[in-house]
């Protein structure tokens, strides 16, 4: 997987550094231009503000001391593997949403926030998924626009509990620590471009 040279936005980053990241980002495509990803038109490149018509969401890349990524298989649907993610509530700060979703979906509260991607990554739902989610949520979203956060797990594995903190219904049935390549291979097709972009952005820390 090709590494980026515009680096990760650390928590201490200045607005000037973030603007520079955007400028560097605009000079590149998410990955090499000659792969099968070109058949996936539902990925929108980085955006400074979340686009209209998309569900605002946070994504969580949680690594352990071996730099493997927390991954879990979904209870619903195909059982595809993914990283934790979840919707941002009205008036909620994306960073606060990331901590909340991590706790609700995995039971993990022992985690250090190392950084975030300073722009939104957006994907469209396939038609069948869009219709299913419209019925489930009562809202018709084109897809999801995500703010991604990078965490390091600082607790013991006994803390991981897929029942979460008891405030929400469980999302996952199994979990594992994986490499970026393993996870890209197992995630649903329409999320692959976003995952490649996330791992490329955080590559120096994986």
pTM, rounded to two decimals = 0.77
CA-CA distance, 66 to 165, in Å (whole number)?
A: 26
CA-CA distance, 169 to 187, in Å (whole number)?
A: 21
Which tens digit of pLDDT belongs to each residue from 135-164? 877 888 889 999 999 999 999 999 999 998
What is the CATH topology of the domain spanning 9-30+42-205?
A: Nucleoside Triphosphate Pyrophosphohydrolase (3.90.79)
Q: Are 30 and 196 in contact (CB under 8 A)?
A: yes
Domain extents in the chain:
9-30+42-205
CA-CA distance, 100 to 194, in Å (whole number)?
A: 22
DSSP 19-56: HHHHHHHHTS-SS-TTSGGGG-TTEEEEESSPPTTSEE
Which tens digit of pLDDT belongs to each residue from 73-117? 998 766 789 999 999 999 999 999 999 999 999 999 999 999 999
């Amino acid at each position: 997987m090709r590494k980026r040279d515009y680096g990760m936005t650390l928590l201490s980053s200045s607005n000037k550094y973030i603007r520079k990241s955007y400028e560097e980002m605009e000079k590149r495509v998410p990955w090499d231009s000659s792969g099968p990803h070109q058949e996936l038109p539902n990925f929108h490149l980085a955006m400074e503000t979340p686009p209209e018509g998309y569900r605002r969401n946070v994504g969580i890349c949680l690594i352990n001391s071996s730099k493997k990524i927390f991954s879990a298989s979904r209870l619903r649907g195909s059982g595809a593997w993914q990283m934790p993610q979840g919707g941002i509530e009205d008036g909620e700060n994306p960073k606060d949403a990331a901590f909340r979703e991590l706790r609700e979906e995995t039971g993990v509260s022992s985690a250090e926030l190392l950084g975030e991607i300073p722009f939104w990554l957006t994907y469209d739902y396939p038609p069948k998924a869009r219709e299913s989610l419209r019925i489930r949520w009562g809202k018709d979203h084109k897809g999801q626009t995500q703010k991604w956060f990078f965490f390091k797990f600082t607790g013991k594995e006994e803390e991981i509990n897929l029942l979460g903190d008891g405030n929400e219904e469980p999302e996952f049935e199994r979990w594992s620590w994986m490499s970026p390549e393993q996870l890209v291979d197992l995630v649903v097709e329409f999320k692959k471009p976003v995952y490649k972009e996330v791992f490329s952005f955080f590559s120096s820390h994986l």
